[in-house]
Amino acid sequence: MQVTVPQSRVHGDAQVPPSKSYTHRAILAAGYSEGALVRRPLKSADTQETMGVVEAFGGDVAVVENTLEIDGFAGAPEAPPDVIDCGNSGTTMRLATGAAALVDGGTVLTGDVSLRSRPQAPLLDAIEQLGARARSTRGNGQAPLVVEGPVEGGSVTIPGDVSSQFVSALLMAGAVTAEGVDIELSTELKSAPYVDITLELLDDFGVTATETETGYRVAGGQTYEPPEGEYAVPGDFSSASYLLAAGALAGDPEVEVRGVYPSAQGDSAILDVLEAMGADLDWHRDDGRAVVRRSELSGTTVDVGDTPDLLPTIAALGAAADGTTEIVNAEHVRYKETDRVSAMAEELAKMGAAVEEKRDALIVHGGESDLEGAAVEGLGDHRVVMALAVAALVAEGETTITGAEDVDVSFPGFFDTLYELGVSVSRE
């Protein structure tokens, strides 16, 4: 699908969608339980893949209005009857690989072309350290993957600078092993707030896991059981970042973003980034509202070591700001749905941005940029699509984005929301 976004002013209020990160974890946590309700889940292509994982392991997922009714496999996943296809969802694959280590039998996991290029070797190695067999069919640490369990728990050493999802997968699975799992990190943990999300969600499901001096520990023999048998998914700060950025660039008079309550989500840092750039912003934490107005932004330096999903948004802001914006500690952002560092550099350049790409950084010279509408590509990445749409709001003329349907991964109603905020979006 192609979407054309004209230079626009935006106004009004918008509700952020539920968190993709929390929804993934909640679906699988409910799968690990005997059964639970997940209220206000994000219904997207990625989370649909995680629902399929629960069913592949012997559970059942029913969608009833805005609730998932999940009959779980009670900590004992069955050998799947077929290959598990995780689509484009890296979170699904990593969390499912952890669950597969519990299966008394074999599990094969694969995904689309993009997912089959993403690194999985550290997680496979950790599972082997626990006594199971785990390998890449091509011997390159990438899917398709074959996992043969079961594991009983134990200690593992794993790098923390590839993906925090490896840690989350081991913690979630480790809670239902006999011995539990001790995780020692051999390198600094990147994207640490995503592990904080996992710890918060585990606690909400009655499971205790803790951070240690060298990593993390989860005791075995635990049971997943949320209070009253249900869990409600919070709003998503990653998705909110595009709406907040739109308000800062084009809010006239203002944009109110609802559903942004304080939580463990690292991407709430977008509020700090906007303030550092000079945005006129008020965050009403208690009622989950942020109000932002069109502002004269200045470049800044942002470390995205813990917030890789914010790089596209910050790059778009930087292209419209005065001065230079440096997005640093970003090498791990190259291993997402696409290489987001290169993707944003290439696509913003098509719009007239002066961009400098380094191995672990993206430098956007906003003061040297003169954004104009252009034909750009989403490159199969939902976050790239939405960030380009934000940049289009302040680019002279019209910007046409190819592959715009990929927003369905995390924010299915994104372009509808832009339309409601006053943007004359057209689709073909």
**Could you tell me which residues are annotated as the binding site for 3-phosphoshikimate?**
20-21, 25, 163-165, 191, 309, 336
CA distance 35 to 58: 12
Beta-strand relationship, 133-136 and 145-148: antiparallel
CA distance 234 to 143: 31
What Rg, from alpha-carbon coordinates, does the chain have?
21
Binding site for phosphoenolpyruvate, by residue number, is 20, 90, 118, 165, 340, 383
CA distance 271 to 256: 13
CA distance 269 to 304: 10
CA distance 156 to 129: 6
Give the pair of three-digit tokens for residue 422.
């006053």
Assess whether the previous peptide bond of 6 is cis (omega < 30° from 0). no
In three-state secondary structure terms, 16 is coil
Query: Is 287 annotated in the active site?
Result: no
CA distance 403 to 1: 5
Catalytic residue among 46, 182, 309, 406: 309
State the sign of the Cα–Cα–Cα–Cα dihedral 315, 318, 320, 324.
Answer: negative
DSSP string of 348-387, one letter each residue: HHHTT-EEEEETTEEEEEGGG---B--EEE-TT-HHHHHH
Closest CA to 162 of 239, 90, 270: 90
- Tell me the CB-side half-sphere exposure of residue 222, using CA atoms within 13 A: 24
What strand order describes the sheet that includes 230-232?
A: 60-64, 67-71, 35-39, 230-232
Contact 230, 29 (CB under 8 A): no
CA distance 352 to 166: 38
Assess whether the previous peptide bond of 144 is cis (omega < 30° from 0). yes
Contact 29, 241 (CB under 8 A): no
Q: Return the C-alpha torsion angle 353, 356, 359, 362, nearest 10.
A: -50
Show Cβ contacts of residue 221 under 8 Å, excluding neighbours closer than 6 positions: 176, 177, 178, 180
Which are the catalytic amino acids?
A: 309
